[in-house]
Amino acid sequence: MYGGISMILVIFMSKSDTVCVTGGFDKKVHTVRNTTIQKFIEDLCLSSGSTFEGKVNASKKILHIHQKAPIVLQRNKILFPSVSAKRDDCIWVNASAIKTFKRKGSSTVVYFLDDSNYEVPIEYRSFKRQVSRCRQYEEYLRQGMFLE
C-alpha cells in the first residue's frame, strides 16, 4: 500500500497534510502527502484486514482499558499512540521494534532494533505503561496462537 516502507518505527504528522513514517532498511523518513494521520492509520488497518475501530475495540476489551489502545497490524507491528488517536499531534510507535527507551526530561527517547532512535514528547512513565500494554497484548495473542 505504501511502497518502500518495510518496517514502521514511528508515524507522525509534519504538516497539516503530510504523514511521515520512519523505518525500513534505508532508515529514511518516508512522507505521504494529502492525508491525515487518522486516515493513514485507518488505511494501514484496512490493508491488514480490519477497521481501525475494530482493532481498537478488540485491544480495549482484551486489555480492559479505555484510552490509548494499541493496534496490531501484523505480527511485527503493534503500534500504540502517544496521545489520543484523534489528535493530529499523535505519534504512533511500533512497540515490536523497540530495543529500549530512556527518560530525557519530559520526553522519552526510543531506541529501535535497527539502531535508530526517536524522541517522543511523552512522559517516561506513560511511555513505559504503553509499552507494557503492548507486551501484554502480544503475550495474549501469542498464547492464543495468533502470533508466532
Give tens-digit pLDDT for 54-88. Answer: 999 999 999 999 999 999 987 668 999 999 988 88
Torsion, Cα of 95, 49, 144, 62 (10° steps):
70
- For the chain, give the mean pLDDT: 84
pLDDT bucket at 3, cuts 50 / 70 / 90: very low
The CB-side HSE value for 3 (13 A sphere, CA atoms) comes to: 0
Cell of 11: 508515524
Q: Where are the domains of the chain?
A: 8-143
- Range picked from 45-49, 133-137, 139-143 for highest mean pLDDT: 133-137
Give tens-digit pLDDT for 98-114. Answer: 999 999 999 999 998 88
Instruction: Inform me whether the pLDDT recorded for 19 exceeds 90.
Output: no
Cβ(31)–Cβ(50) under 8 Å?
no
Question: Strands, DSSP E only, in the chain?
Answer: 8-15, 18-23, 28-33, 71-74, 77-81, 92-94, 98-104, 107-112, 117-120
